[in-house]
Structure 1
Amino acid sequence: MRILLIVLCLLSVAAQATVYKWVDKDGNIHYSDQPHSNAQQVQLNENTDNQVSMAPVKPVNIAGATAVTEQKAIYQVSILSPHHEETIRDNAGDFTVTGDVQPQLASGHYLQLYIDGIATTDAQTSALFSLKDIDRGEHKLQLKVIQQNGKVLASSSEITIFLHQAGLIKPAIPAPSVKRANG
C-alpha cells in the first residue's frame, strides 16, 4: 500500500511539471499536458506561483468601539405632521410629512419614511418629506433613522392617516320604470 502511494505521488509531481506547446496548421497556439506531434516542452519558471502577503491585523478594542456606536445611535424620532388618524384631502395624492429627530443626525445616519411598511423615499438628512401620487385610503406612516448600510438605529411610532380624493364616477341613476295599463 505504501509503495502505491509513493508511486502515485511521484507520478502526480511529474505530470504537473510537464507542459507541451504546439502551433496548428492555422497558426493557433495550443498548450497541453499531453505530448502532440511537433510539440515542444515548455520550461516553467519557479516564480510562477502567486504569493499574496497581507499586513498584520491590528487588534481593535471592540468593547470601546461598540460603546461609541451605541452612544451615537440613541435617537428620539417622531412624526410631527400629519397627526395620527388625520384625514388629508388632496385629489392629486400629494402631501408633506414633517418629522423630528433628537439629537441631530450623526455623519452617515439618515432618515427614511416608510408608508405601509415600504420605504417610499430615498434616505435623506432632512426631516421634511414631500409625497406625490399616493393612492387614496388608509396608510400607516413611520420614520426611521438608518445607517449607510441600511441598519435601523431608531424608529418613530407608526401613525395612521386617511387620504381622501374626490371621485369622478357618479353613481348610476336608474331609469324610471313605466307601468303600462293593460286595456
Structure 2
Amino acid sequence: MRYLLLCLLLASLPAAAQVYTYIDAEGNRVFTDKPRQGNAELIQLAPSNGMHSLISEPPPAVAPPSASALSYQMLRILVPQPDATIRDNAGNLIVTATSEPALHSGHSFRLLLDGQATGESGRSPVFPLENIDRGTHQLAVEIVDAQGRTLERTPNQPLHMLRSSLAQKRLVRPCKQDDYGVRLECPLKDKPAAKQDIPFVPFI
C-alpha cells in the first residue's frame, strides 16, 4: 500500500520536485514534497522517461494550385476555318472556340477582331458578330483571368468577308421607280424624274 501511495505521489509531482520521507509519531512512513527538520530523508529519484504528446498536430496547409495546374494544353478556333471565305451581305458571322481542358474557374474567353476585343469576355466560347466590313480580317481568341490578363491566345487567323456592293446589287436587281427610298442601293437622290406625258394636239 505504501509503495502504491509513493507511485501516485511521484506521478503527481513535477519532474523537478524533490520527495522526502520520514516516520511519524505513530510509526507510519510518510512521503512529502516539503522538507522536514529532524528525521526526514531525501529520496533520490531516477530521471523520468520522456513521453511524446498525444495531441495530434494540425495537418499541413494545402498550397493553392500552381500556375501550371491552371494552364491549357490547347486553345483553337473551330469555326470558321483558317483562311475561310464568308459570303454574307449583312456581314454576319459566328465564331466558335474550344480549349483543353475546359475553362477553369475565374477564367473567360475573349474574341479579338483585327487585334481589338469585340464586346466583353465571358464563359461562352461562341461569339456572334454582325456587320463585318468586306475584306480580309484577322481573328484570335484569348483566355483571360479575372483581372483581364491574357493566359492563352490563338495565332491570328485570316478571314475573308464577301459582301455585295450597292452597285453590284443594282446590277443584279435594277432599281424600279417604287424601289427608290426603300432599298438601300436605291437612294432617293438617284431617282430619275418622272416622264411627263405630252398632251395630244390634233393636227388641223
TM-score by length of 2: 0.50
8 A contact 1:88–1:163 mirrored in 2 = yes
What residue in structure 2 maps to residue 165 of structure 1?
Answer: 163
- Kindly state the Cα deviation for residue 75 of structure 1 after the two structures are TM-superposed: 4.3
Q: Distance in 2 between matches of 1:142 and 1:75?
A: 17
Partners of 1:136 and 1:111 lie apart in 2 by 25
Alignment equivalent of 2:149, drawn from 134, 148, 151:
151
Matches within 5 A, 1:1-183: 65=64, 68-169=66-167
Is the Cα contact below 8 Å between 2:106 and 2:145 reproduced in 1? yes
User: Is the 1:75–1:154 contact (alpha carbons within 8 Å) kept by the matching residues of 2?
Assistant: no
Does the CA contact (< 8 Å) of 1:88 and 1:164 recur in 2?
A: yes
Aligned match of 2:56 = none
Contact 1:146 1:153 in 2 (8 A): yes
**Larger strand fraction of residues:** 1
The number of equivalent residue pairs is 109
Query: What secondary structure does 1:169 align onto?
Result: helix
Cα deviation for residue 132 of structure 1 reads 1.0
Distance 2:153 2:102 in 1: 14
- The higher relative CO (CA closer than 8 Å, separation ≥ 6) is in 1
Q: What is the letter of the counterpart of residue 152 of structure 1?
A: T
Residue type at the aligned position of 1:109: H
How far apart in 1 are the matches of 2:84 and 2:72?
29
Report runs of 4+ in structure 1 exceeding 6 Å deviation.
Answer: none
Q: 2:102 corresponds to which letter in structure 1?
A: Q
Q: Normalized against structure 1, the TM-score is what?
A: 0.55
The gaps in structure 1 that reach 5 residues or longer are 1-60, 172-183
- 1:122-163: CA deviation from partner (whole Å, max 9, x where unpaired): 101111111111111100000000011111000112110100
8 Å contact from structure 2 (residues 72, 99) kept in 1:
no
Residues 117 and 140 in structure 1, CA contact (< 8 A), matched pair in contact too: yes
